[in-house]
């Protein structure tokens, strides 16, 4: 695919993710902390899970983009593993994933600040995407969070990270559709 097309898609998806999360600010804290069952995440825990990934990937992206002296290529070719990881993140009915313990925020007593953290991380992500316009999405490689032995192409890392955001924002919509409406408090 064209690199510029990919960049524009990533920016637009990030805008939509930000907007979905901005909407959560209208809901009260009790609602945001409610869970559907004992072992399932609240809305804030879903967001915090994304923030924990951002805490790992944003600095890794920044470091590798900044030190790179590559020049842009007009096309981005997704890698075999990168494409698999990125696509496996997209929400599909009934697809459960195992959460790594260090990325599991369940019962960590969260407050609304996680929403602002998420938005700030997305603004940072937008900056990094913009910065990547002048670098090579194919040749810069970013290690994944579970092992530095596997590195994905910069373009695939962005796709993976943003699809992961989409996955859990979709989960939040599911939580909202199942929580009792009385808890909803629209300001």
Partner 1 sequence: MIDSLRSLSEKTITVNRNQYLKVAGSIDTNIYFIESGSLRIFVLNDDDEQVIRFGYKENLIVALDSFLSNRPSGLFIQAIKKTVVRVINKVQFNALLKDETVKELWIKTLENLIIQQHEREIDLLTSSPKKRYESVMKRSPKLFQEIPEKHIANYLRMSAETLSRLKKS
Binding interface with partner 1 (CB under 8 A): 7-8, 11-12, 14-15, 18-19, 22-23, 25-26, 123, 126-127, 129-130, 133
Minimum Å gap between C-beta 129 and partner 1 is 6
Reading the block at residue 143, the tokens are 């290690």
Minimum Å gap between C-beta 182 and partner 1 is 22
Minimum Å gap between C-beta 149 and partner 1 is 32
User: Of 176, 155, 157, 153, whose CA–CA distance to 165 is shortest?
Assistant: 157
Which residue lies nearer to partner 1 by CB, 26 or 102?
A: 26
Distance CA 121, CA 50 (A): 10
Which residue lies nearer to partner 1 by CB, 21 or 86?
A: 21
Minimum Å gap between C-beta 95 and partner 1 is 28
Taking every pair of C-alpha atoms in the chain, what is the biggest distance, in angstroms? 55
User: Of 85, 58, 64, 67, whose CA–CA distance to 167 is shortest?
Assistant: 85
Which residue lies nearer to partner 1 by CB, 79 or 136?
A: 136
Q: What is the DSSP string of 125-146?
A: HHHHHHHHTTS-TTT-EEE-SS
Which residue lies nearer to partner 1 by CB, 133 or 178?
A: 133
């Amino acid at each position: 695919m064209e690199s510029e097309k990919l960049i524009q898609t990533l920016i637009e998806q990030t805008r939509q993710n930000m907007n979905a999360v901005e909407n959560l600010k209208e809901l009260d804290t009790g609602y945001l902390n409610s869970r559907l069952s004992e072992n399932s995440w609240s809305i804030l825990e879903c967001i915090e899970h994304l923030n924990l990934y951002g805490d790992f990937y944003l600095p890794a992206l920044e470091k590798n983009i900044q030190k790179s002296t590559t020049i842009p290529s007009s096309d981005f070719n997704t890698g075999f593993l990168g494409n698999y990881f990125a696509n496996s993140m997209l929400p599909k009915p009934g697809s459960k994933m195992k959460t790594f313990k260090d990325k599991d925020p369940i019962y960590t007593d969260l407050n609304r600040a996680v929403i602002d953290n998420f938005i700030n991380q997305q603004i940072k992500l937008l900056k990094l995407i913009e910065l990547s316009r002048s670098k090579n999405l194919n040749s810069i490689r970013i290690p994944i969070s579970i092992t530095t032995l596997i590195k994905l192409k910069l373009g695939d890392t962005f796709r993976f990270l943003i699809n992961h955001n989409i996955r859990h924002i979709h989960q939040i919509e599911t939580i909202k559709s199942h929580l009792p409406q009385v808890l909803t408090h629209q300001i």
